[in-house]
Amino acid sequence: MSMNSDNSGMSPQSALRLEYVIIGLGILALLMIFQPFSITLFTIGCIVVVLAGLINNLLPLAQPGVPVRSVVTVAMVVAMIFCIVLLVAIFSASLYGIFFLKPPDPNTTAGKVQLAATPWYMHGFTWSIAVVAAVLAGLITVRSGKKD
């Protein structure tokens, strides 16, 4: 994104380019989902459609004069909220399993495997998402304290 020399925000060209990138990502995701050739492209398209939906939150900021700093800050807030929602979803699924599913039978092979499985709160993925959310929260706090 190019900035004006007087630091007043994005130029009209930059704002239009950002808008086209955001909309283009959504169109690309839909094309990847609805193509009949490859299941791999479909899988990537499913991931990109979630990413495009999150990035679509930046569309109202694709206006001339909006500082790039604001766009970056809002993108970090959206990413942090996504991480927190993902952690809540993992925790909710765990609670669902505890309260509504039969406990595994330790006398069967499947039951032994289930009982030996690592709990959700000890997985690297869960901790990675939690660390990313915490780092984003810290960065947003630091950025909001600084004024240009």
Tens of pLDDT, residue by residue over 57-109, are 999 999 999 999 999 999 999 999 999 999 999 999 999 998 998 888 999 99
Q: What is the model's pLDDT at position 23?
A: 96
pLDDT, position 113: 93
Output phi, psi for 56, to 5 deg. Answer: -60, -20
- Work out the percent of the chain whose per-residue pLDDT is above 90: 82
pTM exceeds 0.85 for this model: no
C-beta neighbour count of 143 within 10 angstroms: 13
Q: What average pLDDT does this structure show over 9-29?
A: 94
Q: Specify the pLDDT at position 8.
A: 73
Q: φ, ψ for residue 63 (rounded to 5)?
A: -125, 145
Domain limits, the chain: 1-66, 67-148
